[in-house]
């Protein structure tokens, strides 16, 4: 048993010495990059998700959330006073 453990430890030790250790952000990037690259169905799902996010942020913002400050106040001072009043209330 000790002989087998020694061989396994030796192999792992050699592997770790020969392996190039990169930075943590690079390892995280490679993890996701390899995962997304090997996807088949996931690519289509991510495309749908990105399209939905674009619709939500672009379409809804333009039509359902108008810019209140620009339409009611002309100068930056008036806008800032209104924001301060709303924060203090």
Convert the pLDDT of each residue in 54-86 to its tens digit. 988 888 888 887 788 888 899 999 999 999 999
CA dist list (Å): 57 to 8, 50, 67, 71, 88: 54, 11, 14, 20, 29
Q: Which sequence spans correspond to the domains of the chain?
A: 2-88
CA separation for the pair 60, 54 (Å, rounded): 9
Convert the pLDDT of each residue in 16-54 to its tens digit. 555 556 688 888 888 888 888 888 888 889 899 999 999
Quick check: 13 pLDDT over 50? Answer: no
Q: What is the pTM of this model?
A: 0.42
* Per-residue pLDDT, 80: 92
């Amino acid at each position: 048993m000790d002989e087998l453990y020694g061989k396994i430890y030796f192999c792992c030790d050699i592997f770790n010495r020969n392996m190039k250790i990169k930075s943590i952000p690079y390892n995280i990037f490679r993890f996701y990059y390899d995962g997304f690259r090997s996807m088949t169905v996931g690519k289509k799902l991510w495309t749908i998700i990105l399209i939905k996010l674009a619709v939500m942020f672009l379409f809804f913002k333009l039509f359902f959330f108008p810019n209140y400050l620009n339409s009611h106040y002309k100068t930056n001072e008036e806008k800032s006073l209104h924001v301060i009043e709303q924060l203090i209330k």
